[in-house]
Chains A and B, each alone.
Chain A
């Protein structure tokens, strides 16, 4: 019986672990250097915990097998082993707590963003993303780089004004509202996250980052995509019956394509 348990424990352990080694079901390729760093943190964690996982499951199976044999001697009168206990505890503490420090700079880079300013820094593109059941609304400041004022009483989905933009306000006349996001490759993008109704979550797997959109709060994420392509934006916080189909796209294009797209969108305004 002990041997059978050992074999089954080892078998399920391997079955769990192998796809992580062969990477059969895996993350899509990262499109930011920040994403690469997150992947690196993940791989360190995978290596560290992988060793502990394999060792613990192997030890469990081996112990059950060894001391479950009919030929095993009488049980010992041992009450523990302080030296081993302290050694194991220290090792676990160093690995587990150490891992926190490995990835923390990446967290700081992503999330320690100065919360006040809406003014774009040199070359940084700001896109305002407003979630609502069950669509994403993207707003660009337009040529003047200034977002127009919004008024809750102007919100009218049917009339194509989902965020209540006041076109007559300062900087409001050239704001661009679109359902999908276009950004130029290799330029820093700041996404300003808002919600009209309930919680949503802005998540692009290739960027490796997500953040809830919270009504009443403004959230910010920054990233610099370094690969062109079309990537899915999905909602990652339960927002109601249409949660699973709340989707949009992030298009990373060349600087020229971006300018052309922007000009085309602006041309619809007047």
Chain B
């Protein structure tokens, strides 16, 4: 921590400060109320989760290329799921379900918002902490409990649930229809707890951004990262409540004999099931009312980071800042009225399809604006190819590739063919999975010097970028072709389907699996770089190594406990004042007034 100049006001402020710097290990690193520590906790949780999720995806990939192969270690770990090391179809489904759940909830939802948002939102708006620091701590630890509940599903009798990350009833509601056990209950409990944590976090973010902005920091001067965290929080607030309710209802259907989602007259394995009057489609409505906004919860922060990083390293202001803000708001709003496009072939009334389809297509419009403006931001710039810049350029490319297939799936007519095929798998992995993860790579490499006061190895980051960028295209590109065949999702093997065997699915699967193994290996390079960077990276004493403009770069690295030493910074300009005509340098920080930017050299402040 750096010394903070102590003035009388600061001394007074510190006295009434809500949480003075903690001294003990527990209050400092474990049950901390400091948004920066909590942000890093979220990030570490996501790092653990992402490696779990990747391991699961590798098991899925391995079974697809060789259903009968034996992996002795696996047999030792999971004697029931993989007897003698050979994965059963049930085990395959369990791995698939857990892969999706871990990745969507514990990685894509935690890292971009809980991790980077927690750490940098208060600093970027000039606040000392989040509005409710204790609530913030509670959010993280509730999320942690949720993660533990989910992991527990691996070790209980019957193993992890096998109903996909969407958990459609009756399969998920009737224990007789799948392998019995409490795996599915733990899964539901985990999701419910996660929803509670996310609701608390969402409230905190919204209040923080509305109430704690520095003097002069109007909404239209906010960094685009803050805008995306803001809209993401609103989406979270409205979406997670619905999933929470749905999860509790499904738990009740499983355990206390209610029938919200289970109709009467079910016959499973020749036995009547004692339920009546529920609707399986109701679950789908509730789930996707959450599920679709969830896509934007995962990707919006990545969009924010990309806008931020592209502008910084193109040395040029964001192209059409207002249009970017309106586009994010439009995506957020539209995200709530398109859930039905996941249900075109669910048996829901076919008459509603047109509305959902038109609204879905409308999301293409703000998305097109964003893409155009990202390219426009770089156009006429002077690009510096740092590793965060590479990841952000990768983000734009992946966003386009993943978004474009949505135009097919958003049309009910074409969805009749592609629904629940690998075409969908390719689509959402590109956009919600890897594009969002490229946003995280960009954020991590960009903010690393601020968080740890050290640099990651740029050369290793760049090698990782190239391997991963080509790798993810090699994995998810060919999945579109599998979708053309059309390869249905969630098939434990393809040997029983003639059109897959004759259509070349086995060869495509082999190619994808090889690409997946190589891409996963490349992630260990990043992990090594990350861990080494924390302990042995090049020390970065310059508070602003990237010559960026926003407030986090005006304070030391890592930032002191209360961020701005008890002062409230004053903001004089928008977030992306690069290459101003007549300015002394090619960037003007938000806390620099015009005199500092254009005038006498002695008046420079903030750096």
Q: Are B497 and A247 in contact (CB under 8 A)?
A: yes
In the bound complex, how far is the Cα of B404 from the Cα of A45, in angstroms?
Answer: 10
Known: A49-B408, A241-B93. A8 touches B469 (CB 8 A): yes
In the bound complex, how far is the Cα of B406 from the Cα of A129, in angstroms?
Answer: 31
Q: Please classify how large the interface on chain A is, using the bins under 10, 10 to 19, 20 to 34, 35 or more.
A: 35 or more
Q: Does B463 contact A (CB under 8 A)?
A: no
The 8 A CB mask of A146-188 against B (1 = contact, 0 = none) is 0000001001111000000000000000000000000000000
The 8 A CB mask of A115-127 against B (1 = contact, 0 = none) is 0000000000000
The 8 A CB mask of A197-213 against B (1 = contact, 0 = none) is 11101010100111111
Residue of B nearest to A76 (CB): B380
Size of the B side of the interface (Cβ < 8 Å), in residues, is 113
Smallest CB–CB gap between B114 and chain A, Å?
30
Smallest CB–CB gap between B383 and chain A, Å?
4
In the bound complex, how far is the Cα of B211 from the Cα of A11, in angstroms?
Answer: 48
In the bound complex, how far is the Cα of B321 from the Cα of A82, in angstroms?
Answer: 11
In the bound complex, how far is the Cα of B382 from the Cα of A76, in angstroms?
Answer: 8
Known: A96-B362, A107-B413, A198-B170. A80 touches B319 (CB 8 A): yes
In the bound complex, how far is the Cα of B138 from the Cα of A87, in angstroms?
Answer: 48
Q: Are B364 and A81 in contact (CB under 8 A)?
A: no
Of A19, A85, A212, A243, the residue contacting B323 (CB under 8 A) is: A85
Q: Does A239 contact B (CB under 8 A)?
A: yes
In the bound complex, how far is the Cα of B362 from the Cα of A129, in angstroms?
Answer: 37
Q: Does A24 contact B (CB under 8 A)?
A: yes
- Please choose the segment from B28-36, B201-209, B310-318 that sits at the chain A interface, where 4 or more of its residues have CB less than 8 A away: B310-318
Smallest CB–CB gap between A232 and chain B, Å?
6
Residue of A nearest to B473 (CB): A12
Query: Total A-B residue pairs with C-beta atoms closer than 8 Å?
Result: 321
Q: Does B420 contact A (CB under 8 A)?
A: yes
Known: A41-B411, A107-B350, A211-B347. A240 touches B162 (CB 8 A): yes
- Please choose the segment from A215-223, A251-259, A262-270 that sits at the chain B interface, where 4 or more of its residues have CB less than 8 A away: A215-223
A16, A49, A66, A103: residue with the most chain B Cβ atoms closer than 10 Å:
A16
Of A77, A92, A234, the residue contacting B580 (CB under 8 A) is: A77
Known: A63-B378, A80-B323, A152-B265. A57 touches B400 (CB 8 A): yes
- Please choose the segment from B53-61, B230-238, B389-397, B552-560 that sits at the chain A interface, where 4 or more of its residues have CB less than 8 A away: B389-397
Query: Which B residues, 213 to 265, have Cβ-Cβ distances below 8 Å to chain A?
Result: 263-265
Q: Are B372 and A85 in contact (CB under 8 A)?
A: yes
Q: Which residues of B have CB within 8 Å of A77?
A: 316-317, 579-581
Q: Are B315 and A75 in contact (CB under 8 A)?
A: yes
Q: Are B419 and A236 in contact (CB under 8 A)?
A: yes
Q: Does B606 contact A (CB under 8 A)?
A: no
Q: Does A250 contact B (CB under 8 A)?
A: no
Q: Does B417 contact A (CB under 8 A)?
A: yes
Q: Are B496 and A244 in contact (CB under 8 A)?
A: yes
- Please choose the segment from B128-136, B145-153, B434-442, B475-483 that sits at the chain A interface, where 4 or more of its residues have CB less than 8 A away: B475-483
A2, A93, A238: residue with the most chain B Cβ atoms closer than 10 Å:
A238
Smallest CB–CB gap between B328 and chain A, Å?
15
Q: Are A92 and B365 in contact (CB under 8 A)?
A: yes
Q: Does B375 contact A (CB under 8 A)?
A: yes
In the bound complex, how far is the Cα of B400 from the Cα of A210, in angstroms?
Answer: 28
Known: A49-B404, A197-B266. A75 touches B578 (CB 8 A): yes
Q: Does A33 contact B (CB under 8 A)?
A: no
Q: Does B279 contact A (CB under 8 A)?
A: yes
Q: Are A63 and B473 in contact (CB under 8 A)?
A: no
Smallest CB–CB gap between B310 and chain A, Å?
10
Q: Are B89 and A242 in contact (CB under 8 A)?
A: yes
Q: Does A21 contact B (CB under 8 A)?
A: no
Known: A93-B365, A112-B351, A238-B490. A85 touches B320 (CB 8 A): yes
B179, B371, B488, B580: residue with the most chain A Cβ atoms closer than 10 Å:
B488
The 8 A CB mask of B247-291 against A (1 = contact, 0 = none) is 000000000000000011111111010000011110000000000
Smallest CB–CB gap between A270 and chain B, Å?
26
Of A46, A112, A201, the residue contacting B420 (CB under 8 A) is: A201
In the bound complex, how far is the Cα of B179 from the Cα of A219, in angstroms?
Answer: 28
Q: Does B168 contact A (CB under 8 A)?
A: yes
Q: Which residues of A have CB within 8 Å of B407?
A: 45, 48-49, 96, 99
Q: Are B375 and A60 in contact (CB under 8 A)?
A: yes
Known: A78-B316, A103-B413, A111-B353. A16 touches B473 (CB 8 A): yes
Q: Are B382 and A74 in contact (CB under 8 A)?
A: yes
Query: Which A residues, 17 to 40, have Cβ-Cβ distances below 8 Å to chain B?
Result: 19-20, 24-28, 38
Q: Are A25 and B378 in contact (CB under 8 A)?
A: no
Q: Are A64 and B393 in contact (CB under 8 A)?
A: yes
Q: Does A214 contact B (CB under 8 A)?
A: yes
Q: Which residues of B have CB within 8 Å of A15?
A: 473, 477
A155, A198, A214: residue with the most chain B Cβ atoms closer than 10 Å:
A198
In the bound complex, how far is the Cα of B581 from the Cα of A224, in angstroms?
Answer: 69
Smallest CB–CB gap between B91 and chain A, Å?
9
Q: Are A241 and B383 in contact (CB under 8 A)?
A: no
- Please choose the segment from B117-125, B498-506, B593-601 that sits at the chain A interface, where 4 or more of its residues have CB less than 8 A away: B498-506
In the bound complex, how far is the Cα of B102 from the Cα of A253, in angstroms?
Answer: 48
Q: Are A2 and B385 in contact (CB under 8 A)?
A: yes
Q: Does B295 contact A (CB under 8 A)?
A: no
Q: Does B358 contact A (CB under 8 A)?
A: yes
In the bound complex, how far is the Cα of B487 from the Cα of A232, in angstroms?
Answer: 12
In the bound complex, how far is the Cα of B489 from the Cα of A155, in angstroms?
Answer: 30
The 8 A CB mask of B346-374 against A (1 = contact, 0 = none) is 11001101100110011011001101110
Q: Which residues of B have CB within 8 Å of A217?
A: 263, 281, 347
Smallest CB–CB gap between A150 and chain B, Å?
10
- Listed in ascending order, the chain B residues whose CB lies under 8 Å from chain A are 88-90, 93, 162-164, 168-171, 174, 177-179, 263-270, 272, 278-281, 314-317, 319-321, 323, 345-347, 350-351, 353-354, 357-358, 361-362, 364-365, 368-369, 371-373, 375-376, 378-383, 385, 390, 393, 396-397, 400-401, 404-405, 407-408, 410-414, 416-417, 419-421, 466, 469-470, 473, 477, 480-482, 484-486, 488-494, 496-499, 503-504, 508, 578-581, 586
| Contact sample, A vs B, 14 pairs, CB 8 Å cutoff | A42-B417, A46-B408, A49-B405, A60-B397, A67-B383, A76-B380, A77-B581, A81-B320, A96-B365, A211-B347, A216-B280, A237-B420, A241-B90, A244-B492
Further 6 A-B residue pairs, CB within 8 A, beyond A85-B323, A110-B413, A232-B498: A25-B481, A107-B413, A152-B265, A210-B417, A241-B89, A243-B93
